[in-house]
Amino acid sequence: MRVLVVEDARSLADILVEGLRDQGMAVDVAYDGLEAAAKLDATAYDVVVLDRDLPGIHGDTLCRMITSRDDRVMVLMLTAADAPGDRVGGLLLGADDYLAKPFHFPELVLRIRSLARRRPAVRARVLRAAGIELDPLRRTVTRDGRQLDLSVKEFSLLEALMDASPAFRSAEALLEQVWDEHADPFTNTVAVTIGRLRRKLGDPQVITTTPGVGYRVVDGP
Predicted confidence at residue 111, as pLDDT, reads 94
Q: With the C-alpha atoms ordered 70, 76, 81, 84, is the resulting torsion angle positive or negative?
A: positive
Strand arrangement, sheet containing 2-6 = 26-30, 2-6, 47-51, 74-79, 97-100
Question: Alpha helices, DSSP H only, in 43-170?
Answer: 59-67, 84-92, 105-118, 152-164
In the chain the domains, ranked by start, together with CATH numbers, are 2-118 (3.40.50.2300), 127-217 (1.10.10.10)
Q: Share the mean pLDDT of the chain.
A: 87
- Res. 149 pLDDT band, cuts 50 70 90: very high
Name which of 39-43, 127-131, 177-181, 191-195 the model is least confident about: 177-181
pTM for the full predicted model: 0.63
- Res. 83 pLDDT band, cuts 50 70 90: low
Distances (CA, A) of 71 to 68, 90, 132, 155: 9, 20, 29, 25
pLDDT tens digits for 99-137? 988 899 999 999 999 998 887 655 556 888 889 999 887
- Let me know: does 210 contact 189? Beta carbons within 8 Å: no
Predicted confidence at residue 85, as pLDDT, reads 60
Predicted confidence at residue 210, as pLDDT, reads 92
Please, what's the b/e burial string for 111-147 (b: 16 or more CB within 10 A of its CB; e: otherwise)? bbbbbbbebeeebeeebebbebbbebeeeebebeeee
Distances (CA, A) of 65 to 10, 28, 41, 85: 23, 18, 11, 22
